[in-house]
Structure 1
């Protein structure tokens, strides 16, 4: 596995990484048994419009053999809402733009192999890769073998997630206001898109349940399941030591005061830096009405979310999975710290409104955080 490279996506069995020294993204297939094609390079993020320049510098001028590193000059106007005349430029190092700069990367299909050609129009190269970049404000795409990323003009910014629908041959990008952009990139020279506004998104039962009881945030995920476009809102408790947070894997009928000390240590997080998933709510998008509708049951489906391209599996085909459930890995990038990192993983049962963790709570750090990898045969 690649070392010292943050994973920014997982799609069709391939993992996407950012190289920490030069910030060149690349694809890696951990399931491929051939030594010849484990990696596929992608265009440098220097080709994105917010990158103004790159320069080499010596890491330690006083060292007998200083190493050369790269520093990037970024336009803040391109990655913020600052007015152009007030915008400044920012010099950053590769380690500072790993998770921040490419927040999500998904593919329309697995790349064609063997991968010899640098010509993205070569026969069989149907794979299109789309990314949320520049924080969360822009979209860009490329094909394996391209020399540069193509920025998508017309994209509105503030994106929370991105998926590809093989049914509709569209990339769907969701904004923070829950509107949807549908992008058709089958003709790379002429991208087409449609916007579905959703002004009346309902906060949901869990939002009202947690509001006032916890200091929480939430992360949104798009998933295509049984032909429907779903949004999953993941509620994450912050600074849980301040609220003596009880992990929701226990039912509401449990009497916390009657548990023993070992159970209590597993239930209560003891650090202000701790965070933990409280639960999920689910909505389905009605394209005819352009609105989100609450979903109370996923049927026989199991959904998988995290830093991966979200996907859905049938528990009839995979009976070892729990139906009507959401399998999640730690994806709270803002919460990663030296005390807690990668620990927030589990299975959420929608009907029971409870979570079953993968690991004991004492395991505070799992670094790098786990990521779902779904072979393309699924």
Structure 2
């Protein structure tokens, strides 16, 4: 029996080696033709296949959907009291439902998603990372002092009852006695993004929070038990993004502050603080539509480039897409039930020229597609 065992091990080792040495470009081409379930199965073959599968799964844009009950009882827009039970895979145009929805999906507030991980905030202001496909949970240090919250307890109505520290930090904000999940995102934590995703031992990652009405940025490195509040010079901020070991923060005055983040010891180093000239084309467009629209800004990393996305949002839009002002709504012609409160009607995209330190307008995204919003903005291949 011992001889057979040794012989079997000798025959298995070369086979495993052949799988690991499969040409990367060819392997990636094959994996790009697999659906989600097939990729999950292929990941178990060997280390190299597992790494590639992890990369592809985390890069697929997923839409987290409300529960079936929520959709049946309403329009699915109120996500304050119910949870999320399904994920829409845009690559396959298919819904994947969770057989057993974790309690975190209904009891906690989702404050961000990044690199295939979700970020939740539970009672007592304790955040954690959660991977819905691996069912892995990583506890993070409390953010009670960071947010100025002494108590955050969920009541029977699904809202969070709040109590504040008697400090200057807490007095800067509205002191709600209770708030919904949506209000938590609006007032306390606006964005949560990973600098690096956790490795197999759940180490060597970093998480960044944009919080307190977008006025503060905090950083946590794995292995530490605290949050570091970054020295921010131009709050409030429109967006933040991690690229490599660097954090970029875009402020309302079109400045970008850059910090180098270290996951090993949690150190933070300020690298630059540059105010860029706002693109003339977008400024001209805004001036022509100032009474009927607003702008929102995003940072996106795409193929090594840093992109600046300007989103034009109509305050009120008619059914045929016509932009309306508040005055128009009072007229008889526009007093129509099919008037939307707002609608995105235009995007401008620019690329950073690091040598000239200016934004360069882009005419096309090529084979890329951009996903922007309250969570980490991402760039993916348009041929999903």
Q: CA deviation at 1:57?
A: 8.6
> 1:229 maps to what in 2?
306
SS in 2 for 1:22: helix
> 1:157 maps to what in 2?
235
CA–CA distance in structure 1, aligned partners of residues 160 and 370 of structure 2 = 41
2:118 alignment partner, one of 15, 22, 46: 15
Contact 1:138 1:152 in 2 (8 A): yes
SS in 1 for 2:366: coil
SS in 1 for 2:279: coil
> 1:30 maps to what in 2?
132
CA–CA distance in structure 1, aligned partners of residues 169 and 346 of structure 2 = 35
Task: Give 1:188-199 correspondences, 5 Å limit.
Answer: 188-199=265-276
CA–CA distance in structure 1, aligned partners of residues 302 and 271 of structure 2 = 21
Structure ranking higher in helix proportion: 2
Contact 1:79 1:134 in 2 (8 A): no
Q: CA deviation at 1:69?
A: 7.0
Q: CA deviation at 1:137?
A: 0.5
SS in 2 for 1:157: coil
Contact 1:9 1:105 in 2 (8 A): yes
Q: 1:104–1:286: structure 2 CA closer, same or farther, 3 Å change rule?
A: same
Q: Please tell me whether residue 299 in structure 1 is matched to residue 374 in structure 2.
A: no
2:150 alignment partner, one of 41, 47, 54: 54
Contact 2:234 2:255 in 1 (8 A): no
> 2:252 maps to what in 1?
176
CA–CA distance in structure 2, aligned partners of residues 17 and 143 of structure 1 = 17
Q: CA deviation at 1:127?
A: 0.4
Give the CA RMSD over aligned residues: 3.6
Q: CA deviation at 1:67?
A: 12
Contact 1:10 1:307 in 2 (8 A): no
> 1:130 maps to what in 2?
208
1:246 alignment partner, one of 303, 317, 321: 321
Q: 1:247–1:206: structure 2 CA closer, same or farther, 3 Å change rule?
A: farther
* Unpaired runs of at least 5, structure 1: 61-65, 81-86, 116-124, 249-267, 321-378
SS in 1 for 2:125: coil
Contact 1:247 1:278 in 2 (8 A): no
> 2:138 maps to what in 1?
40
Q: CA deviation at 1:271?
A: 5.5
1:289 alignment partner, one of 356, 367, 379: 356
SS in 2 for 1:234: strand
> 1:121 maps to what in 2?
none
State the number of aligned residues: 267
CA–CA distance in structure 1, aligned partners of residues 108 and 152 of structure 2 = 20
Q: CA deviation at 1:273?
A: 6.0
Contact 2:124 2:144 in 1 (8 A): no
Contact 2:317 2:341 in 1 (8 A): yes
Q: 1:56–1:215: structure 2 CA closer, same or farther, 3 Å change rule?
A: closer
1:220 alignment partner, one of 263, 277, 297: 297
Q: Please tell me whether residue 90 in structure 1 is matched to residue 182 in structure 2.
A: no
> 1:143 maps to what in 2?
221
Q: Deviations for 1:14-39, whole angstroms, at most 9, x for unmatched residues?
A: 011223x433222221222xx5x2x2
CA–CA distance in structure 1, aligned partners of residues 233 and 265 of structure 2 = 15
Q: CA deviation at 1:161?
A: 0.8
CA–CA distance in structure 2, aligned partners of residues 77 and 215 of structure 1 = 37
Q: Deviations for 1:208-232, whole angstroms, at most 9, x for unmatched residues?
A: 2783386222221111112211111
CA–CA distance in structure 2, aligned partners of residues 14 and 77 of structure 1 = 33
CA–CA distance in structure 2, aligned partners of residues 109 and 145 of structure 1 = 14
CA–CA distance in structure 2, aligned partners of residues 28 and 58 of structure 1 = 20
TM-score (norm 2): 0.60
Contact 1:8 1:16 in 2 (8 A): yes
Task: Give 1:322-341 correspondences, 5 Å limit.
Answer: none
- Structure 1: which 4+ aligned runs deviate by more than 6 Å? 56-60, 66-69
Q: Deviations for 1:314-355, whole angstroms, at most 9, x for unmatched residues?
A: 34xxx34xxxxxxxxxxxxxxxxxxxxxxxxxxxxxxxxxxx
Task: Give 1:246-265 correspondences, 5 Å limit.
Answer: 246=321
